[in-house]
Amino acid sequence: MTHTQATDLETTATHKLQLRINATYMRGGTSKGVFFKLDDLPEQAQMPGSYRDSLLLRVIGSPDPFAKHTDGMGGATSSTSKTVILSKSKRENHDVDYLFGQVSIDKPFIDWSGNCGNLTAAVGSFAIENSFIDASRVPHNGVAIVRIWQANISKTIIAHVPITNGEVQETGDFELDGVTFPAAEVKVEFLDPADGEGAVFPTGNLIDILEVPNIGSFSVTMINAGIPSLFIPAEELGFDGTELQDDINSDAELLAKFEIIRAHGALKMGLINNINEAAVRQHTPKIAMVAPAKAYVASSGKQILATDVDINVRALSMGKLHHAMMGTAAVAIGVAAAIPGTTVSLAAGSKNRTEVTFGHPSGTLKVGAQAVGEGSQWQVKAAVMSPSARVLMEGNIRVPSPD
């Protein structure tokens, strides 16, 4: 055997072929991610654990010190570094089980602690097209009702998916700020959206004073609805609520300050046991600043008038100001606006309301909520929003095995 032949054998033994996994690349709301059927994943990845996480990290292209995701399917933003695993539900009165993974861009971890409300709009379409729904429940023309079990937070979500000529309708004239092209509207209902065991206000207060060492004290509404969230008056943070991404994301010191505040909020909400745990729980809670309605120019150049909105909100996701608004955070905004005495309600004028239109960096969004109660004892029956969804690509993901 020649030296060249021996080297070829070594190369063959050392370098494995890539895995080929059936997947669908989808946009839902202002997010996009890689969708998998549970049964299509390698057997080791069909259960939680390090193999699954390593595989999905590699699919997205994380961790990437260059923050580009050049060697993966991610888009190097919190809105585009997402994975979804779906399976036909075995739970009574549900059609599909939906598990969401928020992939860190520059660190080797996936946060499984919360939901992605935007991608929920795509779950219904995926479930229909992959026969998770009995054909008798899909009209030839009309709206199909898809009952989703959100496995991260153990909640029910109802997606109203438009159907035309027996197929999911994805195109249309519905415009969503933060999404370039119009599509078909998908109404999404979040039933009983209080996170965890159902305490809307985990501290028992509508507003808490959050003490953050070496930074300051802040009035904050800590709420579990859609996703655990912290809402702080913008003026207490030195802002007016009309900021765009470059105003925040270009300042590393400021982002670090927001993260420290978020970590102390997570501790006070009981989501973590010590401050250090916040570093690997970046998806929840969300931190946002709220301000009374004020005119501004959105990132697209669109003029937003003070009369167009009830309130301005700017929220951070995975350590950066979001380009629009996370769907689950929109639910939290809607619920907080419906409950008098929260920082959100106060900024919105303290009116009794069942829906709120808020301004975000890309434009505006309307969300409705039904809440009943008094004092700090509230129950949330449902929250409703209308994103859109579309399949971008379907086929096979090619990814090196984590082994």
Pair 326, 315: CB distance under 8 Å: yes
Count Cβ atoms below 10 Å from residue 91 Cβ, excluding itself: 13
Pair 80, 29: CB distance under 8 Å: no
For residue 63, whether the previous peptide bond is cis, meaning omega lies within 30 degrees of 0, is: yes
Give the helix/strand (H/E) hosting 131: none
Pair 87, 37: CB distance under 8 Å: yes
DSSP code string of 57-123: HHHHT-S-TTSS-TTSS--SSTTT-EEEEEEE--STT-SEEEEEEEE-SSSS-EE-SS--HHHHHHH
Active site residue 326: yes
Q: 41 to each of 63, 310, 351, how far by Cα in Å?
A: 21, 45, 49
Pair 341, 201: CB distance under 8 Å: no
**Identified catalytic residue from 73, 116, 318, 385:** 116
d(CA 286, CA 264): 12
Burial 117-143 (b: 16+ CB within 10 A, else e): bbbbbbbbbbbbebebbeeeebeeeee
**Identified catalytic residue from 269, 318, 326, 385:** 326
Contacts of 191 (CB under 8 A, 6+ apart): 155, 156, 157, 158, 381, 382
CA nearest to 261, candidates 210, 226, 224, 299: 210
d(CA 272, CA 279): 10
Over its C-alpha atoms, the chain yields an Rg (Å, rounded) of 22
Contacts of 90 (CB under 8 A, 6+ apart): 97
What's the start-to-end Cα distance of the chain, in Å?
A: 30
Catalytic residue numbers read: 116, 326
